[in-house]
Amino acid sequence: MSAVSQKQLAAEAALEYVEDGMIVGLGSGSTAALFVKALGQRIAAGDLSIKGIPTSRETEEVARESGVPLIPIEQADRIDIAIDGADEVDGRFRLIKGGGGCLLREKIIADAADRMIVLVDETKLVARLGAFPLPVEVDPFGWTITAKKVFDALRAVGIARPVVDIRRKQRDSLDPFITDGGHYILDCACGEIPDADAAGIALSIVPGVVDHGLFLDQARVVIVGEDDGVKILEL
């Protein structure tokens, strides 16, 4: 079974966690989009009435096309659950996110939600984080200085040869990728992150860093799509 099919199974399984009347944080990326579309089908069938808060313009567009009612985050006094994908998940439910460039808004929603549910295919499960380049969202002002400070911070927490590159709008473009919030993203190839908690702290105190893609204490449920169904892991 393909990774897309496994993600689809995980997305459909996540619907079991959505209850009538909930405010649902809608993540970004391909897996989250599958969930949003499945959610729209349930709503269209009259089985469910919820309100969603999207974490990106792309998710907002998918939600509107799928018939999922949305509200601005400013109108929500609480968020019941956030449902999102991840680029990596370790055995303690720590995540790397941000491959799609929406990590800041995803983290705001995840942290505000009573419960975060993560949807992945089985290839995203890892023993230790770091094979996927760690995204770090930074202010455009002085980003080259910030990139050097990010490199130094990663070295200081035991990553021997981090490679810090600015994300480009397209592979062959010199123009930087710009997030929905107007920031740049540094992709940090670490190979392996020996201490994710220390890395998170070190990156957070670098001036110019808006946020980083280490989600260390947000996920409570991980739904893993497999060839013959789903595996549900809970803390």
Per-residue pLDDT of the chain (235 residues; tens, 9 = 90+): 799 999 999 999 999 999 999 999 999 999 999 999 999 999 999 999 999 999 999 999 999 999 999 999 999 989 999 999 999 999 999 999 999 999 999 999 999 999 999 999 999 999 999 999 999 999 999 999 999 999 999 999 999 999 999 999 988 888 999 999 999 999 999 999 999 999 999 999 999 999 999 999 999 999 999 999 999 999 8
- 61 and 22 housed in the same domain: yes
- 99 and 47 housed in the same domain: yes
- 56 and 119 housed in the same domain: yes
Catalytic residue among 61, 106, 122, 226: 106
- 107 and 64 housed in the same domain: yes
- 196 and 229 housed in the same domain: no
- 121 and 43 housed in the same domain: yes
| Neighbour tally for 44: CB within 10 Å | 12
Count of structural domains, the chain: 2
Question: Looking at this protein, which amino acid is placed at residue 177?
Answer: F
- 40 and 122 housed in the same domain: yes
The pTM of this model reads 0.95
- 23 and 112 housed in the same domain: yes
- 224 and 160 housed in the same domain: no
Question: Looking at this protein, which amino acid is placed at residue 223?
Answer: I
Alpha-carbon span 38 to 53, nearest angstrom:
16
pLDDT at 170: 86
Going from the C-alpha of 203 to that of each of 17, 196, 198, 207, 220, the distances in angstroms are 33, 10, 9, 9, 24
Q: Exposure pattern of 10-22 as b/e (b: 16+ CB <10 Å)? A: bbbbbeebbeeeb
Give the residue numbers spanning the domain of 116.
3-126+216-234
Does the annotation count 106 as an active-site position? yes
> If you compute the radius of gyration of the chain from its CA atoms, what whole number of angstroms results?
17
- 49 and 121 housed in the same domain: yes
pLDDT at 104: 98
For residue 124, the SS3 value is helix
Residue 119: CATH number of its domain = 3.40.50.1360
Cβ pair 188, 134 in contact under 8 A: yes
Residue 139: CATH number of its domain = 3.30.70.260
For residue 55, the SS3 value is coil
Longest CA pairwise span in the chain (Å): 54
pLDDT at 235: 85
- 200 and 230 housed in the same domain: no
Alpha-carbon span 83 to 168, nearest angstrom:
27
pLDDT at 223: 98
pLDDT at 173: 84
| Neighbour tally for 165: CB within 10 Å | 12
Side-chain-side CA neighbours of 232 within 13 Å: the count stands at: 10
- 166 and 199 housed in the same domain: yes
